[in-house]
């Protein structure tokens, strides 16, 4: 079945350093979403990417969708302690408009 | 507007006991989902529903049953709990922008606060 792999599993950075998490799908996706889960909380939607090669920015966060629509990345510039949490990508199949396949997540820890 | 709510928040069961987890949403969403979250494994889809009276299996449906008798509620049942079902369970709901099509559908999922279940 379809798989969505996400790396790294953990990242521990000094506040002010950059952070990147990568997501790869075994199949071509119709779109991809990113979620953030704070410790002890629930996943919260960040963004959706639809077009091949799409790049979107939210303040210090930059999201990219690969040209082949099989990979994606989230880059955080100058991390802050408020960025702590687990970041998940979630891909949607070409033949399904409502099911998401979640990556295993990248847990970000930020040293103040 | 409470969004997505889940009851109970915590539960401890003995092996073989049964229970039902309740999910409710007040956003008039058509689609609802049950996930389980285990360390290092992300979120795995158990069952989902695309409308009142309909349900379908996800990635890991064994040992669980669901019902969607009312649009706003989605129930997850464990008939005979096993230690392997110790997990955090999240319910989610979503809508779709009509007329855009699957590749352009804006289908953000809204998650409930979760239920932490331990099976001894």
Please determine, for residue B27, whether its predicted confidence score (pLDDT) is greater than 80: yes
pLDDT on residue B34: 97
Per-residue confidence at A92, pLDDT binned at 50, 70, 90?
confident
Least confident of A27-36, A69-78, B28-37, B89-98: B89-98
pLDDT on residue B79: 93
Strand arrangement of the beta sheet that strand B73-78 belongs to:
B4-7, B19-25, B73-78, B65-67
Per-residue confidence at B99, pLDDT binned at 50, 70, 90?
very low
Largest CA distance in chain A: 44
Question: If you average pLDDT over residues B93-118, what whole number do you get?
Answer: 75
CB contact under 8 A, B103 and A95: no
Q: Is the peptide bond before A8 cis (omega within 30 degrees of 0)?
A: yes
CB contact under 8 A, A48 and B106: yes
- Between the CA of residue B9 and those of A69, B108, B112, B113, B118, what are the distances in Å? 37, 23, 10, 8, 11
């Amino acid at each position: 079945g379809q798989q969505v792999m996400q790396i790294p599993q953990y990242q521990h950075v000094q506040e002010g350093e950059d952070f990147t998490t990568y997501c790869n799908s075994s199949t071509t996706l119709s779109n991809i979403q990113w979620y953030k889960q704070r410790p002890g909380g629930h996943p919260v939607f960040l963004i959706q990417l639809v077009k091949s090669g799409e790049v979107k920015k939210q303040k210090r966060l930059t999201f990219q969708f690969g040209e082949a629509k099989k990979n994606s990345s989230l880059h955080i510039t100058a991390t802050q302690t408020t960025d702590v949490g687990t970041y998940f990508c979630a891909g949607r199949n070409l033949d399904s408009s409502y099911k998401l396949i979640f990556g295993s997540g990248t847990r970000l820890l930020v040293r103040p | 507007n409470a969004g997505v709510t889940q009851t109970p928040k915590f539960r401890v069961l003995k092996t073989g006991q049964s229970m039902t987890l309740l999910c409710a949403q007040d956003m008039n969403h058509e689609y609802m989902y049950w996930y389980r979250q285990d360390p290092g494994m992300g979120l795995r889809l158990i069952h989902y529903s695309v409308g009142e009276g309909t349900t379908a299996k996800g990635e890991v449906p064994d040992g669980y049953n669901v019902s969607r008798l009312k649009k706003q509620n989605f129930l997850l049942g464990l008939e005979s709990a096993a230690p392997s079902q110790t997990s955090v369970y999240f319910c989610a709901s979503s809508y779709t922008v009509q007329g855009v099509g699957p590749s352009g559908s804006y289908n953000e999922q809204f998650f409930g606060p979760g239920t932490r279940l331990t099976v001894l």
